[in-house]
Structure 1
């Protein structure tokens, strides 16, 4: 049996964390979000979702560091879909591919308005 590539290992890790469907995400769409230290362990922990750059930073952290329950608790399906065209350019290829393969409703194409 050949050893798994780093990319395969990362993709498997991200895939295990996915929600069943985007409609199951229950995160807020506006206001301030305080992320726990296991997510935001290196810097800012509070994000104002009404400020586009902070919203994008918050979503990058949650997607990259969040476990299944974190994704459900902090991500909002409408926000995720609306920011995806830009967000997908800010995350790793492995993470992006896992989410896009699992959820065809995530738009690929032009960047979202900030």
Structure 2
């Protein structure tokens, strides 16, 4: 690949020049694929494995909530959504099954899916089609 300073194209040996926009699109697609795979690798085998609490206070460990709020009240809908967004984005498989609850995830999914990244949403909805069906049923 060659690129000249100030150039708005990138040339790959033997190929037609690529514009900056084309390079950005390729890069974004590759990043999205990597993120989707990363999130998919963390998922439990079944939604029933999500055995987290439905009520009360939950303190997230630092490896999940490394900045900002760490203690969430599941009986307060906004805090519950915040906890789920954080765990979905930052949690490992063990964290997902420990802190997320299947029934609460299903209940919140139609709204939650609009508050998380596309990579997280696609990983979950691909693995668990019932989430996408639930979201479609409420639109």
Normalising by the residue count of structure 2, what TM-score does the alignment of the two structures yield?
0.75
Q: Aligned ranges for residues 20-39 of structure 1 at < 5 Å?
A: 20-39=45-64
Residues 47-79 of structure 1: CA distance to partner in whole angstroms, max 9, x if unpaired? Answer: 000000000000000000000000010000000
Is 1:80 matched up with 2:105? yes
Q: Which residue of 2 aligns with 1:44?
A: 69
Q: Give the CA deviation at 1:80.
A: 0.2
Looking at structure 1, the residues matched to 118 and 49 of structure 2 have their Cα atoms a distance apart, in angstroms, of: 24
Question: CA–CA distance in 2 between the matches of 1:86 and 1:32?
Answer: 22
Q: Does the alignment pair 1:71 with 2:113?
A: no
Structure 1: gaps (5+ residues)? none
Greater fraction helix: 2
> 1:90 is matched with which residue: 111, 115, 118?
115
Q: Does 1:108 align with 2:135?
A: yes
Q: Which residue of 1 aligns with 2:83?
A: 58
| Counterpart-to-counterpart distance in 2, 1:105 and 1:77 | 12
Local SS of the residue matching 2:58: strand
Q: CA deviation at 1:25?
A: 1.0
RMSD: 1.6
CA distance in 1, matches of 2:114, 2:67: 21
Aligned structure 1 segments of 4 or more residues deviating by more than 3 angstroms: none
